[in-house]
Structure 1
Amino acid sequence: MGREIKFRAWDNGKMQKVDFNNLYVNRHHPTGTLYLRDENKPFGETHITQLMQYTGLKEADSGREIYEKDILSYEDGEESFTAVVEWSDWGFYLKGIAPNDVFDFADITDRGKVSATIIGNAFTHPHLLEVSDGTDN
């Protein structure tokens, strides 16, 4: 069985879960802009600036779902890193922030549970994407 397909969206300064059935592309717009049907809006739609897909994985401790652009912190005594969840043609991976490296979910996952902690996401916590130089100013 494949993983569950879910999305969340970032738009106008807020994060929201998205029902896939309510997404559509405006083909009349030159860029094919993605919209979410929203009856509470004047034109019945919300423009989506960033769509993030569910990885199919959850935090081991809390069971929280892990999505694209989530920032994870991992520490096991031998290795530690902070990374953002990214997508490539071959699947989801962890793009290291500290250290600047690439990490594989397979190394920190057991039966769909990830032994890392979600500490934020790239949109509501962009400061977590900055690399510290180790000095106090």
Structure 2
Amino acid sequence: MIPKFKFWDKDEQYFIKDATIVLNQDGSVEGLEYYHSKLKYLVYNDISYYELIQSTGLKDKNGVEVFEGDIIDCYTEGLSTVKFEHGCFGLVCNGYFEGFENVLGKLEIIGNQFEHPHLLEE
């Protein structure tokens, strides 16, 4: 699987779709470079301005790619958030981290924690 990422701009509150990740010599992420559609030129910012979000490599029941931070309705457990913990991706259900094994094929993305935080409020 080829790793896939998307980027949430913390200040401007939107997802950046096409970007280049700039790495340091040690392989750590230094920043992000992309064409800013409003400013109409190439922008570079330190990675601290963005939330780096990785794909799980899985798709929901509708064929939509699942990313960390997605809010999932898995019907049996209610709403859950996709997280990367303990070296793997899974769901946080009722405060507990679980793998995807028991809910594969039942998952449906209904939003994400960045654009739809109200879905997680109780």
With the shorter chain as reference, the TM-score category is 0.7 to 0.9
- Which one of the candidate residues 75, 85, 90 is aligned to 1:88? 85
Offset of residue 107 of structure 1: 1.2
Secondary structure of 2:78's counterpart equals: strand
Q: Is the 8 A contact 2:18 2:34 kept in 1?
A: no
Alignment of 1:61-100 (within 5 A): 62-75=62-75, 79-96=76-93, 99-100=94-95
Rg: which structure is higher? 1
Secondary structure of 2:102's counterpart equals: helix
Query: Quick one: percent identity of the two aligned structures?
Result: 28
Match of residue 135 from structure 1? none
Secondary structure of 2:17's counterpart equals: strand
Q: Aligned pair count?
A: 113
Q: Is the 8 A contact 1:68 1:87 kept in 2?
A: yes
Match of residue 101 from structure 1? 96
TM-score (norm 2): 0.76
Unmatched segments (≥5 aa) in structure 1: 133-137
- Which one of the candidate residues 32, 35, 41 is aligned to 1:35? 32
Residues 75-113 of structure 1: per-residue CA shift (max 9 Å, x gap): 1xxx322111111241111112xx22222111112xxxx
TM-score (norm 1): 0.69
CA RMSD of aligned residues (A): 2.5
Task: Look up the equivalent residue of 1:106 and give its one-letter code.
Answer: E
Alignment CA distance shift 1:43-1:16 (3 Å): closer
1:129 aligns with 2:120: yes
Runs of 4+ more than 3 Å apart: 39-43
